[in-house]
């Protein structure tokens, strides 16, 4: 199961990078980007509640916030 989750996360990051034409941060998923966008007041941030709601069905609270803070450790020092 852990391998499947790793593959799905890699696919999520890849698809987000393609959707942003490479403008995403390294290892940034749709979820972490939604949380970041909400903090910056960007339109895409409005997707954060829906993404969190979808993951709440799996028993995970604050999914986007957790994704954002986990990806921050993979960023260069000046982008943290």
Asked if 16 contacts 8 with a C-beta cutoff of 8 angstroms, the reply is no
Asked if 37 contacts 43 with a C-beta cutoff of 8 angstroms, the reply is yes
71 DSSP assignment? H
Q: What is the pLDDT of residue 27?
A: 84
Tens-place pLDDT, residues 17-72: 999 999 888 888 999 999 999 999 999 999 999 999 999 988 889 999 999 988 76
Q: What is the pLDDT of residue 65?
A: 94
Rounded (5°) CA angle 41-27-29: 50
Task: Work out the pLDDT band at 80, boundaries 50, 70, 90.
Answer: low
Distances from the Cα of 56 to the Cα of 51, 52, 64, 65, angstroms: 9, 6, 11, 13
Is pLDDT of 5 > 90?
no
């Amino acid at each position: 199961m852990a391998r499947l989750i790793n593959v799905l996360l890699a696919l999520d990051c890849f698809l987000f990078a393609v959707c942003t034409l490479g403008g995403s941060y390294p290892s940034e998923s749709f979820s972490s980007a939604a949380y970041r966008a909400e903090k910056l007041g960007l339109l895409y941030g409005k997707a954060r509640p829906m993404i969190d709601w979808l993951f709440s069905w799996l028993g995970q609270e604050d999914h986007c916030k957790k994704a954002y803070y986990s990806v921050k450790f993979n960023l260069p020092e000046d982008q943290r």
